[in-house]
Amino acid sequence: MVAVTVPFALAAWSMWQSGNGPVDAETFQRLVGGGMDADVDGGVGRPLTREDAAFWLQLAGAVVGGLSLWSIGLAGGVALRREAARHAALVTFLFFALVAVPHGIGGWFLDPRPAGVLGATLAAASTASVVWLLATRQLADDVSRASFYRRRRRRGHHDGSDDGDGPSGPPVLAA
């Protein structure tokens, strides 16, 4: 999860830095070429200025940066085998995949093909693979088992000798 998130965090920092001060001509042209020239001021329809471009770059950097920090926090929770973090990560990365996969695939059909289409496709594939890994039964069982033992320790059962519960998980009733 962190490996998927770090490139987005770096992109967020780059967007934020690009929005500090005047936007250079190349970045401005990419923004205008990307369709940001229409109705940027609440429907007034004035053309995009370099000041507007700086604002939108900083806003995008803040949003992507916030989502990156959220994702890294969720990765820590999943590493600690927290059920709520796994569920939140699954929903978050599923949302990311729903945005990234069509974007990554759609880039291949544009003419001319954008320079970052391969990177977008790889980001989409890696995001989809994170969703798949978070949804596996093995991770769900591992997180559930860790949660069971965490609750058990809080109730005062430290060694497992008092209820016959071994290292394989919750007690199983014999038939």
**Could you read off the pLDDT of 57-85 as tens digits, one per residue?**
889 899 999 999 999 999 999 998 898 99
Per-residue pLDDT, 104: 86
Q: How many CB atoms lie under 10 A from the CB of residue 15?
A: 20
Lowest mean pLDDT among 17-31, 78-92, 118-132: 17-31
**What length is written for the chain?**
175
- What is the mean predicted confidence (pLDDT) over 104-131? 87
- What is the mean predicted confidence (pLDDT) over 95-100? 90
Per-residue pLDDT, 165: 47
54 and 94 in a common domain: no
23 and 93 in a common domain: no
Whether 43 shows a pLDDT value over 80: the answer reads no
Q: Which two tokens stand for residue 158?
A: 């430290």
Instruction: Please state, rounded to an integer, the average pLDDT across all residues of the chain.
Output: 81
54 and 8 in a common domain: yes
pLDDT single digits (tens) 23-41 = 777 777 777 665 555 455 5
88 and 63 in a common domain: no
Contact 121, 108 (CB under 8 A): yes
62 and 15 in a common domain: yes
91 and 54 in a common domain: no
Domain span at 122: 80-158
pLDDT single digits (tens) 3-17 = 889 888 988 898 888
Q: Where residue 111 falls among pLDDT bands split at 50, 70, 90?
A: confident
Q: Tell the residue number behind the tokens 């001509």, with chain if given.
A: 25
Q: Is residue 17 part of a domain?
A: yes
Contact 148, 169 (CB under 8 A): yes
> Higher model confidence: residue 12 or residue 173?
12
CA proximity to 68, closest of 44, 96, 47: 96
